[in-house]
Structure 1
Amino acid sequence: MQLLLLTLVSFIVLTSEAAPEPPRRRTTVSIVKDQFYINGQPTFRGRTWNGYRIEGLLPNSRMVQGIFDDQNPETRAQWAYPDTKVWNPDRNTDEFVAAMPTWKQHGLLAITLNLQGGSPQGYSKEQPWHNSFFNADGSYHPYYMRRLVRILDKADELGMVVILGYFYFGQDERLKDEAAVINAVDNITGELLEKGYQNVLVEINNECNIRYDHAILQPDRIHELIRRVKAKKLRGRRLLVSTSYGGGTIPKENVVREADFLLLHGNGVSDPNKIKEMVQQTRAVAGYRPMPIVFNEDDHFDFDKPANNFVAATSVYASWGFFDYRMKDEGFDEGYQSIPVNWQISSPRKKGFFEKVKEITGVSF
């Protein structure tokens, strides 16, 4: 009898250890028709600006290099900090996390991260560096995970949303085959659910129509992975999910029918009127129903002018996201995508964006 009781106790303990309750979280993002809600309330409740509805929008910035590292010893040295002359991935994440409260104070509610980063040169044809959260078989590096958790935890604490991209073209080939891609999706989605994060919006891959090696990451099949994330649930909860396309591209019907929200990119779209047209065309795609439309990448600025892409998107009730990289002959203080990054609001371009966010959202501090 005593042996039986001990066996039962051991079973209960092992079962409890195998399936612990996820940590209690502070921030939950949800969608009601075409509005984003945080903790059960629409964002910027009741807010209008210049006659435009702001309530329910999600202003964001592309900060994809928050967990960047380079596993290629031949390219790693080129990301050295100007003061120390060495690259340090922990410093990068430390400084990212330290800057997040300032971004939030200006009204920024969301940041886009990517588990395989983005081009640390802004735009690049070749990508010899090796920056991937995932191993070749779809498992993941614990060092990357530790840095990711730090950012997700801080965002949760601040009431911010993370648009988390899983894959980036130029790095997706680090996974050996389609089975590894599927394994990677299952692994990270499961981890996010197990860790209890409710402030994450999934972007399967950045610009699915640009140079992906694996067919399942390309436009005709990307909806399969959207479905896969939607199907993975823990205690009745799942993650909201979509994907994005290259600049100026309208989402395809297979994605519109499956996604929880739609991601557009304004790269290459210099006329603000074209931004409005993109939103209108997206709403006309077969399968569209009321859902949020979000630009989470646009490298056009003109924040001091009455007409710019940010204002244009806002005028047709679409959220807008800033994409800033270090341009030719610019220094360390410029750009949020070019490694190494100064994550503070350290340049006129960054200041212009954040001042515009503050103006549109009405946030004061």
Structure 2
Amino acid sequence: MAFLQRFAIVLFSIFWLAATAKPPKRNTKISIVGEQFCINGKPTFKGRVWNGYKIEGLLPNSRMVQATFDDRNPETRTQWAYPDTKQWDADRNTNEFLAAMPVWKQHGLLAFTLNLQGGSPQGYSKDQPWHNSAFNEDGSWNPYYWNRLKKILDRADELGMIAIVGFFYFGQDERLKDETAIIRAVDNATDWLLEAGYQNVLIEINNECNIRYDHAILQPERVHELMQRVKRKKVKGRRLLVSTSYGGGAIPKENVVREADFLLLHGNGVSDPAKIVDMVNKTRAVAGYRPMPIVFNEDDHFNFEKPMNNFVAATSVYASWGFFDYRMKDEGFDEGYQSVPVNWQISSPRKRGFFEKLKEITGL
């Protein structure tokens, strides 16, 4: 045990020195001008209009939060075995994610959501006995997770893609022992991203802040405190853009709207596209709102073959939309981007439906 602890400390030290060395020149920089996202100073999809709807400045995205997934619980780890090898392999998962990224970009996908505590590997789940967290209980971080994250962020930077990086997920936030650990985790993650020079990153403090978080500072009334903390941290005058998200159908609260650089909505449970439009309109009416991007970064409604669906509805009111796909009952390995193990390729009719509609809307 002593040897393993010493080895972990050495590995951590090596990784930390590498991560905090002078960062390489980065290729991709995300910024916000009013309601528009810009990459390297230019609005996304510059000049693009589709069916009369303005596409310029939008950030279509997909929920890909299991890109760095692992399970530290030996009792549940075997659940995630690949069908061919009958074993779980975290490195294989990340490597296959990396291999799929250029294909997504070719179809117009500019952004994807990651999370350092993942999401439910079953799609939806009441209990979460697995242990998937980039953070240790004291808020320090696990170098194995961060090594995988670095590979993804580096590749995204090369491809001109944006990562919406979430820090916490309900059902896993209790892996951190107290509020001090949560704050330390936010500081550590923010410092690392800044010092590594990433400019293709947007921060989501936690996924669905109004759903079952153990720590009060991650709940709706106080989560803005962590957003303020991220905003105060700067390297060479540069800071990270930050927000947080709410559960399906919920409208952001004033405390978040006033602090956020962009606003994150979820369409889960919203099957009527007209209600997507209503969500966006209500969000723009919240006290403290000023022109800023509105982004759905989770919605499990599809119907991409229909003239009106949640994707189109969000686009019609100038809000970016994000695909949330999980493996449903009796579906196989090729289905779903949320369910572990993941086939990260465009490997199912549902995935193809999204990417074909995305390509049509973006004109790529």
What is the TM-score with the length of structure 1 in the denominator? Answer: 0.94
In the alignment, the residues of structure 2 paired with residue 145 and residue 285 of structure 1 have an alpha-carbon distance, to the nearest angstrom, of 36
Counterpart position of 2:181: 180
Counterpart position of 1:199: 200
User: Which one-letter code corresponds to 1:317 in the other structure?
Assistant: Y
Please list every run of 5 or more consecutive structure 2 residues that lacks an aligned counterpart in the other structure. 1-16
In the alignment, the residues of structure 2 paired with residue 30 and residue 93 of structure 1 have an alpha-carbon distance, to the nearest angstrom, of 27
**Quick one: structure 1 residues 17 and 319, their matched pair in 2 at CA, closer, same or farther if it must change by over 3 Å?**
closer
**Quick one: structure 1 residues 158 and 17, their matched pair in 2 at CA, closer, same or farther if it must change by over 3 Å?**
closer
Counterpart position of 1:306: 307
Matches within 5 A, 1:307-346: 307-346=308-347
Residue 264 of structure 1: SS of its match in structure 2? strand
In the alignment, the residues of structure 2 paired with residue 264 and residue 149 of structure 1 have an alpha-carbon distance, to the nearest angstrom, of 27
In the alignment, the residues of structure 2 paired with residue 343 and residue 20 of structure 1 have an alpha-carbon distance, to the nearest angstrom, of 32
Residue 31 of structure 2: SS of its match in structure 1? strand
**Quick one: structure 1 residues 351 and 17, their matched pair in 2 at CA, closer, same or farther if it must change by over 3 Å?**
closer
Deviations 1:124-173 (A, max 9, x none): 00000000000000001100010000000000000000000000000000
Counterpart position of 2:13: none
Question: How far did 1:251 drift?
Answer: 0.2
Question: Which one has the largest radius of gyration?
Answer: 1
In the alignment, the residues of structure 1 paired with residue 68 and residue 116 of structure 2 have an alpha-carbon distance, to the nearest angstrom, of 7
Matches within 5 A, 1:41-80: 41-80=42-81
User: Which one-letter code corresponds to 1:238 in the other structure?
Assistant: R
Question: How far did 1:304 drift?
Answer: 0.2
Residue 225 of structure 1: SS of its match in structure 2? helix
Count, aligned residues:
348
Matches within 5 A, 1:1-365: 20-363=21-364
Deviations 1:216-239 (A, max 9, x none): 000000000000000000110000
In the alignment, the residues of structure 2 paired with residue 132 and residue 103 of structure 1 have an alpha-carbon distance, to the nearest angstrom, of 26
Counterpart position of 1:13: none
User: Which one-letter code corresponds to 1:313 in the other structure?
Assistant: A
Residue 295 of structure 1: SS of its match in structure 2? strand
Question: How far did 1:348 drift?
Answer: 0.1
**Quick one: structure 1 residues 237 and 121, their matched pair in 2 at CA, closer, same or farther if it must change by over 3 Å?**
same
Q: Where do 4+ consecutive residues of structure 1 move more than 6 Å?
A: 16-19
Question: How far did 1:18 drift?
Answer: 11
In the alignment, the residues of structure 1 paired with residue 308 and residue 339 of structure 2 have an alpha-carbon distance, to the nearest angstrom, of 27
Contact map agreement 2:202 2:241 (CA 8 A) in 1: yes
Contact map agreement 2:19 2:196 (CA 8 A) in 1: no
User: Which one-letter code corresponds to 2:194 in the other structure?
Assistant: L
In the alignment, the residues of structure 2 paired with residue 142 and residue 206 of structure 1 have an alpha-carbon distance, to the nearest angstrom, of 22
Question: How far did 1:19 drift?
Answer: 7.2
In the alignment, the residues of structure 1 paired with residue 361 and residue 276 of structure 2 have an alpha-carbon distance, to the nearest angstrom, of 18
User: Which one-letter code corresponds to 2:272 in the other structure?
Assistant: D
In the alignment, the residues of structure 1 paired with residue 25 and residue 155 of structure 2 have an alpha-carbon distance, to the nearest angstrom, of 14
Counterpart position of 1:9: none
Contact map agreement 2:20 2:196 (CA 8 A) in 1: no
User: Which one-letter code corresponds to 1:335 in the other structure?
Assistant: G
Please list every run of 5 or more consecutive structure 1 residues that lacks an aligned counterpart in the other structure. 1-15
Counterpart position of 2:5: none
Residue 166 of structure 1: SS of its match in structure 2? strand
Deviations 1:253-301 (A, max 9, x none): 0000000000000000000000000000000000000000000000000
Question: How far did 1:22 drift?
Answer: 2.4
Residue 242 of structure 2: SS of its match in structure 1? strand
In the alignment, the residues of structure 1 paired with residue 58 and residue 226 of structure 2 have an alpha-carbon distance, to the nearest angstrom, of 26
Residue 61 of structure 1: SS of its match in structure 2? strand
In the alignment, the residues of structure 2 paired with residue 19 and residue 69 of structure 1 have an alpha-carbon distance, to the nearest angstrom, of 24
Contact map agreement 2:19 2:192 (CA 8 A) in 1: no
Contact map agreement 2:20 2:192 (CA 8 A) in 1: no
Residue 337 of structure 1: SS of its match in structure 2? coil
Deviations 1:300-340 (A, max 9, x none): 00000001000000000000000000000000000000000
In the alignment, the residues of structure 1 paired with residue 129 and residue 45 of structure 2 have an alpha-carbon distance, to the nearest angstrom, of 42
Question: How far did 1:23 drift?
Answer: 1.8
In the alignment, the residues of structure 2 paired with residue 297 and residue 334 of structure 1 have an alpha-carbon distance, to the nearest angstrom, of 17
**Quick one: structure 1 residues 272 and 18, their matched pair in 2 at CA, closer, same or farther if it must change by over 3 Å?**
closer
User: Which one-letter code corresponds to 1:295 in the other structure?
Assistant: F
Question: How far did 1:17 drift?
Answer: 10
**Quick one: structure 1 residues 334 and 19, their matched pair in 2 at CA, closer, same or farther if it must change by over 3 Å?**
closer
Deviations 1:323-361 (A, max 9, x none): 000000000000000000000000000000000000000
Question: How far did 1:111 drift?
Answer: 0.3
In the alignment, the residues of structure 2 paired with residue 22 and residue 261 of structure 1 have an alpha-carbon distance, to the nearest angstrom, of 26
Alignment RMSD, CA only?
1.2
In the alignment, the residues of structure 2 paired with residue 352 and residue 19 of structure 1 have an alpha-carbon distance, to the nearest angstrom, of 41
